[in-house]
Structure 1
């Protein structure tokens, strides 16, 4: 008999079916045995009536299929209004224990560190699997928007001969007789594609950051979304691209998973209205200081408290969960960010905050070779190891800009999770390389 998914059972009441799944829970009463079986589509109650002389089926349920055992259960689907799980149950005629489980070392109340030790067991729970359903929809919608805008999807190398960007926070690996580095960003490669005449590019792929950070929002390996678009008139073109992309993403998530997210996580998925509010960094600092924001030392950037406060202001003043902070000072941005002629002390750059957490950094890039080299020299950089990157600007590169976002951090914010560790399948951090 072929497999029937649990979500399909309402359509086969009165018929004999076989469901495959795991034993979720057992309730063994004097007259009845209840087995809650779980597959990736839901839960169903299996009800077996005891007999005066226990039969093989009764003995198997009693002693041979503890919770989390993998089973195949054949039986008749019966409508039962008193059953909370969908108003139906299965009266079993045959049970096959495919794989008997040992005592499970975690449950829903177990702390995150121990659950990560047994992540394959942890993600068996429907509420954990919802994360990956949402992630799939998010990635599909990101691609849907990018393709509609004429973007080309790229896959850039993750092994690099020189450290990307500033050269800090990179993992070095042995590469035959020399040292290679794991890419901390596809930034230079996507700009290379722009110089190659591809107008709009994007990538969804792994990113590596050797940050000894133990915060709830950092990981040493995560999935990044990177976009770069050419022939822009200014950084506003980049911000409009992202806000429209995220609006489509959240619309798709709400359509497909909104009710389930509300039930499981208690979160309402809000589809934003564009355009998102914007504050320059100077405006943000002035507003925050007026509210008593006082970082430990003089800064040209926002600390996490400042990010939360400016996001709260955007919510209060504009009703938006999103806010762009723009025009970051030159001192806190990389050498390749463009500096506007009207104020060369700042960059044509932005961060996007969502519910008080930074999810994106973006900018218009400096596309003029001589200016790019000068800005690198001002920051004391040796450009010799980056010749393959800087050469891209010697042969006519159009004005362009883009952004990078962490997909796992976006999922953490979207679902209201306490930590990025819960927003990915297998977390990697300074103290975790297994499982």
Structure 2
């Protein structure tokens, strides 16, 4: 970094306490009063190893004061750069840059478990989870992002007084690491001091420090910002994080590109009346039911795309399996040979994700008592055949020939678990009447589509299939449905200008999490549920 002033320029290099600096000192080429700035110095600080810029410093050279800040070896023979100032006397930081490098003062549980910390003094941050006062000794359990840590408070040795500590206070503990098999992590910290960073002003309205909160789901949801601090509640969403991580990692490995589509639009992708409508700058708009149109558009760009994002359904269902806002894991892929390519991709994702959960989320799975499902192979059955199997085995009448009732889904899951020990089953070839207009019909029987649902323990978690990619075929199907192309001009454009054979799916994240964890209500695995009766927190 050089300034444009070349006259009387003199370059200095040196070492200051805060880091390496380089810069220029130059004269002001205009008359100034005695009290004004006579000479300016612009210095920039860099990281010694990478030479990355960390900050800019503007130095002001005032009056005739001579500073002793210049190193002695630099003073000898250094020509004055101004009649009014020989060396810099003070500076002002005008810009700071973050380097991404910080000197870590505190440790994490993982640091202690992986390093040689026994007998060493450490600093650790956490919230006071529980205090067990035993008299002269107390156990202060801290809650950190990696789990619980037991610290030992000794009266007369540890500061401050125990009465100053309270549950949910944010603290930094200073103490010595000691092995202790009975402690949560196999070690404890024998505290020297607790620095109190903040204290609650009210007692906790719910017992979050108990292993299991004995309260209703409604109470947990009303107090959601607090109930999520419970270690078991928190563990559910760590597992959910692992599912999304597996989705992203696996699809990236298969050549997919992540996209981010808009959630406000002029019309819905799925049609129907289950749309949330809103005013958008004096225009009518809706919240996205699905990223379907955008996924297909982007197949023409990247071939393979995915998205993990919220979708909105204005369905007046008040059941344990329905939400009005949920997170959909969507992907769309081009140049497929058949809709079975999509099913194979989902099977690969599930296999990868279960392995990821098994290896990197074992602590949470153990805490929640979860046994992961089998995904070595996933059987598939046609829609009409599945209905017949259930009707025959469980002596049940087929009432709706065009869709699966919740009880039928449950019985299909039960059937394949009993007959094949399968946790998942693909139900294929759904009737065209119950699938969106863009679903490709089966050329062998156009009453059915090249589509599928994935059932997990008898609950639908995925809907997918092959899409129509031929413009004329799509136009005909829209007309057959009694629909118009009004409002779909941008969508139809991609087919006018060529699209490859393609298809995709959408997975309900909260439902998938619910079934993996063995919960019976999707709100248990939703951070902040939105349903018929709940709009906050």
Same fold at TM > 0.5: yes
Corresponding residue number in structure 2 for 1:325: 427
Give unmatched runs, 5+ long, in structure 2: 1-103, 208-212
Aligned residue for 2:449, secondary structure, equals coil
Corresponding residue number in structure 1 for 2:273: 168
Corresponding residue number in structure 2 for 1:311: 413
RMSD: 2.2
Counterparts of residues 16-415 of structure 1 (less than 5 Å): 16-50=121-155, 57=159, 60-62=161-163, 64-81=164-181, 83-101=182-200, 102-107=202-207, 108-194=213-299, 196-258=300-362, 260-261=364-365, 263-274=366-377, 276-292=378-394, 294=396, 297-415=399-517
In the superposition, relative to structure 1, how do residues 434 and 295 fare at CA in structure 2: closer, same or farther (>3 Å)? farther
In the superposition, relative to structure 1, how do residues 40 and 197 fare at CA in structure 2: closer, same or farther (>3 Å)? closer
In the superposition, relative to structure 1, how do residues 398 and 79 fare at CA in structure 2: closer, same or farther (>3 Å)? closer
Q: Is the 8 A contact 2:128 2:167 kept in 1?
A: yes
Q: Is the 8 A contact 2:467 2:503 kept in 1?
A: yes
In the superposition, relative to structure 1, how do residues 253 and 293 fare at CA in structure 2: closer, same or farther (>3 Å)? farther
Aligned residue for 2:141, secondary structure, equals strand
Aligned residue for 2:361, secondary structure, equals helix
Q: CA deviation at 1:296?
A: 8.7
CA distance in 2, matches of 1:39, 1:197: 44
Q: CA deviation at 1:348?
A: 0.8
Considering fraction of residues, name the structure with more helix.
1
Aligned residue for 1:272, secondary structure, equals coil
In the superposition, relative to structure 1, how do residues 431 and 14 fare at CA in structure 2: closer, same or farther (>3 Å)? same
CA distance in 1, matches of 2:317, 2:342: 29
Q: CA deviation at 1:160?
A: 0.6
Q: Is the 8 A contact 1:258 1:268 kept in 2?
A: no
Aligned residue for 1:373, secondary structure, equals helix
CA distance in 1, matches of 2:176, 2:443: 75
CA distance in 1, matches of 2:379, 2:357: 22
Corresponding residue number in structure 1 for 2:58: none
The Cα offsets for residues 166-217 of structure 1, whole Å up to 9 and x where unpaired, read as: 14211112111111111110111111222x3432121111211112222222
The alignment of Structure 1 onto Structure 2 pairs a total of residues equal to 426
Q: Is the 8 A contact 1:46 1:90 kept in 2?
A: yes
Aligned residue for 2:268, secondary structure, equals coil
Q: Is the 8 A contact 2:107 2:124 kept in 1?
A: yes
CA distance in 1, matches of 2:375, 2:223: 37
Give unmatched runs, 5+ long, in structure 1: none
CA distance in 2, matches of 1:392, 1:326: 27
CA distance in 2, matches of 1:208, 1:189: 16
Aligned residue for 1:169, secondary structure, equals coil
Corresponding residue number in structure 2 for 1:6: 109
Q: CA deviation at 1:343?
A: 0.6
Q: Does 1:422 align with 2:521?
A: no
In the superposition, relative to structure 1, how do residues 137 and 411 fare at CA in structure 2: closer, same or farther (>3 Å)? same
The Cα offsets for residues 25-63 of structure 1, whole Å up to 9 and x where unpaired, read as: 122233322221221112222223335xxx8846x323x
In the superposition, relative to structure 1, how do residues 153 and 88 fare at CA in structure 2: closer, same or farther (>3 Å)? closer
In the superposition, relative to structure 1, how do residues 116 and 238 fare at CA in structure 2: closer, same or farther (>3 Å)? same
Q: Kindly name which structure, 1 or 2, has the bigger radius of gyration based on alpha carbons.
A: 2
405-414 or 116-125: bigger deviation: 116-125
CA distance in 2, matches of 1:3, 1:120: 26
CA distance in 1, matches of 2:137, 2:362: 37
Relative contact order higher in (CA < 8 Å, ≥ 6 apart): 1
Q: CA deviation at 1:221?
A: 1.6
The Cα offsets for residues 254-274 of structure 1, whole Å up to 9 and x where unpaired, read as: 12123530x222211235113
The Cα offsets for residues 143-179 of structure 1, whole Å up to 9 and x where unpaired, read as: 2221222222221111111222214211112111111
CA distance in 1, matches of 2:397, 2:225: 41
Q: Is the 8 A contact 1:40 1:126 kept in 2?
A: no
145-154 or 175-184: bigger deviation: 145-154
Aligned residue for 1:385, secondary structure, equals coil
Q: Is the 8 A contact 2:387 2:398 kept in 1?
A: no
Considering fraction of residues, name the structure with more strand.
2
CA distance in 2, matches of 1:398, 1:15: 62
Q: CA deviation at 1:280?
A: 0.4
TM-score, normalisation: structure 1 = 0.91
CA distance in 2, matches of 1:298, 1:418: 25
In the superposition, relative to structure 1, how do residues 87 and 189 fare at CA in structure 2: closer, same or farther (>3 Å)? closer
